[in-house]
Structure 1
Amino acid sequence: MCKFEFNPQTGKLTKQIKFINKDQKTEEINYNDDGKTIKETIKYEYNSETGKLTKQTKFNDKDKKTEEINYKSDGKTVDSTKKFNPETGQEIQ
């Protein structure tokens, strides 16, 4: 299932959200003001038993940077954060 959000003044696409029930994942794609180019992609992963957020991965298309955020079992408190270069896989300090 997909949900689309548009800017009411320009009619341009601002956000697309994909729900993947079998994998307990959601993917959010945010667009730049032109409504065509991707600003960032955010993937959310949930615990299949509790439904709480376990991991969030952000890919910033402009900066070519991936940020991985892991959550504690409460689904709210950040446990760890890592930043990577998606092309090399190297962690950014």
Structure 2
Amino acid sequence: MQRSGSANKKKIKKRRRESLKGHKCQKGKDRNEWPMAMFKEGGKNNNCPNNVADVFHISPSDNRGAGSSIKAALSYLSDGVQVKFKII
């Protein structure tokens, strides 16, 4: 499966807040959203069904480790660059 997004590092906090709204915290878990907040498709203005991001509760170490790796790999990109993820 492949997913894509357009890099847009402005307003990350706003898009993350929009994505996570209504998804309660669970003890010992992080909330992880797709599309990620670093993409313009994140937040409430995205291409997901019902215009809402997918949110899952996952282990903090998995979430933060993956987030850190993705941030490091994509930090050099300019806003507007299309990124394709291949989910294996």
Task: Tell me whether the two structures share a fold, i.e. TM-score over 0.5.
Answer: no
Point out the structure with the larger strand share.
1
TM-score of the aligned structures, taking structure 2 as reference length: 0.27
Q: Which one has the largest radius of gyration?
A: 1
Structure with larger RCO (C-alpha < 8 A, sep 6+): 2
Calculate the TM-score normalised by the size of structure 1. 0.26
